[in-house]
Amino acid sequence: MTEISSHLRDLKESLPDNCTLVAVSKTKPASDVLEAYEAGQRDFGENKVQELTQKAEELPKDIRWHMIGHLQRNKVKYIADFVHLIHGVDSLKLLKEINKQGRKAGRIIDCLLQMHIAEEDTKFGLDSEELNEILNGEQLKEMENVRILGLMGMATFTEDLDQVRREFKSLKSLYDEIKNSDHINVQMNTLSMGMSGDYEIALEEGSNMVRIGSAIFGSRS
């Protein structure tokens, strides 16, 4: 058993059954992705469009590719016909572009709305006012080629685990609130929070999708 498949097996054994593991393969060679694929992993996350399209071209076609990084509107067209889930929708303009490219590709593109929950300014994401504008606005109702499946958020990169827990808790509470209300083109079933350093806290706070890279592939070069 290789190191990658061994890490994967240990990780999957520690995750609850309802949790989807997205193996974050950014900056890793296609050979590493293939190793994880051969160990049974199918969901992989990339944060750069160029790297995502390149790997999608080279690797098995039944891989579910997740776009987890900040997505620029002019790059949506390159992934619209195959991306499994876009995690980082952080504006109405981006959502409109995804809908437009989904229409051209003849498919509905699944998305998560990225919330800004961290105390750092470097993280992208919507605030609650912008979220309400998207969910309750008329424009979403007319978008037939996007489907919002949930929320995504990144906690502050800090040693203060209580702060991380508070941030995850606030996102879960928001997720529950939306899940219990009725919106067109919204099917709340995915809460993507937690990475290699904080996924255990995220799981305790209700995450059902974790994005893990270094704990599978080793630290990035």
Predicted confidence (pLDDT) per residue in 44-95, tens digit: 999 999 999 999 999 999 999 999 999 999 999 999 999 999 999 999 999 9
pLDDT for 220: 64
The token pair that represents 107 in the structure block: 């498919």
pLDDT at 213 over 90: yes
pLDDT at 20 over 80: yes
pLDDT for 205: 97
What is the spatial distance between Cα 22 and Cα 40, in angstroms, rounded to a whole number? 12
Asked if 83 and 107 touch (Cβ cutoff 8 Å), the reply is no
What is the spatial distance between Cα 147 and Cα 132, in angstroms, rounded to a whole number? 16
pLDDT for 124: 81
Nearest alpha carbon to residue 91 among 142, 48, 127, 66? 127
pLDDT at 1 over 80: no
What is the spatial distance between Cα 180 and Cα 188, in angstroms, rounded to a whole number? 9
What pLDDT, in 10s, does the model give residues 197-206?
Answer: 999 999 999 9
pLDDT for 185: 87
What pLDDT, in 10s, does the model give residues 90-144?
Answer: 999 999 999 999 999 999 999 999 999 888 766 689 998 999 999 999 999 999 9
pLDDT for 122: 63
pLDDT bin (cut points 50, 70, 90) of residue 195 is very high
> Count of alpha carbons within 13 Å of 73, Cβ hemisphere only?
10
Asked if 77 and 86 touch (Cβ cutoff 8 Å), the reply is no
* Mean pLDDT, the chain, integer: 94
pLDDT at 221 over 60: no
The token pair that represents 217 in the structure block: 């592939």
Q: What are phi and psi of 89, to 5 degrees?
A: -75, 110
pLDDT for 218: 86
Asked if 82 and 62 touch (Cβ cutoff 8 Å), the reply is no
Nearest alpha carbon to residue 83 among 116, 34, 43? 43
Q: What are phi and psi of 58, to 5 degrees?
A: -80, -30
Domain hosting 109: range is 3-217
Return contacts of 125-133, CB within 8 angstroms, 24+ apart.
125/90, 125/153, 125/154, 126/90, 126/91, 128/174, 130/91, 130/92, 131/174, 133/92
The token pair that represents 49 in the structure block: 């469009």
Q: What is the DSSP letter of 182?
A: -
What is the SS3 assignment for 127? coil
Percentage of the chain surpassing pLDDT 70? 98
In this prediction the pTM is 0.95
25-57 b/e (C-beta count within 10 Å ≥ 16 → b): bbebeeebbbbbbebebbbbbbbbbebbbebbe
What is the spatial distance between Cα 152 and Cα 142, in angstroms, rounded to a whole number? 23
Q: CATH number for the domain including 200?
A: 3.20.20.10
pLDDT for 176: 94
Domain count, the chain: 1
